[in-house]
Chains A and B, each alone.
Chain A
């Protein structure tokens, strides 16, 4: 236990990189999820096809292999060498954006048709129907699923250790284990705890958003939303 302060210090040293990777990945995920999700619902076949291809490709192939492609193969093919952390953010975003697209598509299509008809009966333009009636309701529906997705993304940041980004897992495995081999249990317990704390933070933010959203609908968060948020935190 006498090594505890040093071990903690080294692991905490990796937290900024983990947080940057997760935050960047989440931003890119949101962007891609909405673009691809709405494209999946588009009237234009080509848009739907492009989006469907993107979703199936990134959902259906290994995240680690994708990372190696972007980091190791891309430079050979086209001569672009991305910074490791940036390559990580791109892969995390592309991957989770593909899952997020299905969340967006599902939530938008779950808004009752009656809402669209009510809006049409008031002669709203298609754009107003989408952005003032359908999306505000759909976004609230998405929050619990996005909470899960963001937590998964956070945990996936550990794959960045493969391309030597000095995030939490890389610190633990590459720096601590070789030097403090006797404390291996302690090291990995602390690593788990760090991810848990970060995941709880994500859940706290998402639940706060859910509460704001629920208040705008004049109700408390739905039972299913609460259960999902609790399940995600564990």
Chain B
């Protein structure tokens, strides 16, 4: 990867569900280490962007590149063909995701939730994976829960484990999909401040979908306002929250601030 190369590039990306166009002709780039927050009304395509990056959905048109490599396509005989499962798995190893509902594996202890993928997918030794898991659990403040089962943890604790699990893969890109939406209100602040710490102490590129506007303002280098599958405003947070240019952005921000 060239130093000047963006970490994430969307070019002419289109995504439809049946007749419904979720994303249309979307271009965007994200620089390495940048924190970008996606905001907008529900159904505006924010989450779809994360799911496309995680290969949980396929593009209908356009291409996505991550770290200079095609994610959606692979080069073959000088042309581009849609990526197969094995290829996109290879590229998305560099991407981690944290979900709204945590999606921890209930059949594994916290330790195994954190070590299974590093050993199975990255080929780490058991000792290496364990050391990494212990270090990350300390980072998220749950060092004492390593042998607990996810079901024995609170929502906030489960989400911290999920964050640690994503970080255990040492991703270049981290996707945060409404990670505090399912939490009880009193647990939200803790998880957000943990994410702030992670944002400050690492150079991971972070794409974040959230309804926490205060967090978006502090955390992001850039905020993108989505509506109807398009980016209608793309600006640094102080600009977008302070002086939104677009009427749609203004009404949306008013609506979410109640």
Contacts and interface: CB of A to CB of B under 8 A. Distances in A.
Contacts of A128: 120-121
Interface stretch (B92-100, B186-194, B198-206, B213-221): B92-100
Interface stretch (B3-11, B16-24, B101-109, B248-256): B101-109
Contacts, number: 72
A125 B89 contact: yes
B36 to A, nearest CB: 19
B105 A218 contact: no
A128 B89 CA distance: 13
Contacts of A117: 54, 56, 99, 103
Contacts of B89: 123, 125
Interface of A: 114-115, 117-126, 128, 132-133, 136-137, 140, 216-219
A95 B169 CA distance: 46
A140 B149 CA distance: 16
B151 A217 contact: yes
A111 to B, nearest CB: 10
B196 interface: no
Interface string B135-165: 0000000000000111110000000000001
B106 A114 contact: no
A118 B103 contact: yes
A140 B106 CA distance: 11
B116 interface: yes
Contacts of B120: 124-125, 128, 132
B105 A121 contact: no
Interface residues of B, number: 30
Nearest to A128: B120
Given A114-B99, A217-B149, A121 B107 contact: no
Interface in B51-108: 54-56, 85, 89, 92-93, 95-97, 99, 101, 103-107
Name which of A114, A122, A218 has the most chain B CB atoms within 10 A of its CB: A122
Contacts of A118: 99, 103-105
A119 B105 contact: yes
A25 B148 CA distance: 38
Nearest to B148: A218
A16 B106 CA distance: 40
Given A121-B96, A123-B169, A133 B107 contact: yes
Contact of A120 (B56, B116, B148, B152): B56
Given A216-B107, A217-B107, A121 B166 contact: yes
Interface string B226-242: 00000000000000000
A216 B150 CA distance: 11
Contacts of B106: 137, 217-218
Nearest to B153: A218
Contacts of B101: 114
B117 interface: yes
A218 B117 contact: no
A140 B108 CA distance: 13
